[in-house]
């Protein structure tokens, strides 16, 4: 790369965008476990991280299949489709939370930890 600082900035931004949601989702999973299965909070937390790892492995495998069988040019629109499905699932999850009486968060950032 002719501009190493630009490559570094790109990798940092990519990491922030790709994995910046993990702490918030982990807090969400723990709060849900505390509400529904307080005796299994640690299990829920571990399963959440395991699901992330399975998602990473599965996406790498699927990406390889896409490139092998359809070609590299098809990865952007398939990636966009995955993002749209993810947004749909996110909105559906919020709807289910509202339906089950989980209040929407209206205050600022909260401290994580005990």
Digit-coded pLDDT (tens) for 7-54: 999 999 988 888 888 888 899 999 999 989 999 999 999 999 999 999
Report the helix count and the strand count for the chain, using DSSP H and E: 4, 0
Ranges of each domain in the chain = 20-99
**pLDDT tens digit sequence for 51-100:** 999 999 999 999 999 999 999 999 999 999 999 999 999 899 889 888 88
Contact residues for 32 (Cβ-Cβ < 8 A; gap 6+): 44
């Amino acid at each position: 790369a002719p501009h190493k600082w630009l490559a570094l900035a790109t990798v940092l931004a990519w990491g922030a965008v790709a994995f910046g949601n993990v702490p918030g989702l982990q807090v969400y999973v723990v709060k849900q476990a505390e509400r529904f299965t307080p005796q299994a909070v640690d299990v829920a937390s571990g399963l959440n991280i395991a699901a992330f790892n399975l998602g990473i492995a599965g996406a790498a495998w699927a990406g390889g299949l896409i490139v092998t069988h359809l070609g590299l040019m098809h990865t952007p629109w398939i990636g966009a489709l995955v993002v749209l499905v993810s947004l749909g699932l996110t909105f559906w999850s919020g709807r289910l939370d509202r339906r089950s009486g989980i209040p929407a968060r209206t205050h600022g950032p909260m401290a994580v930890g005990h």
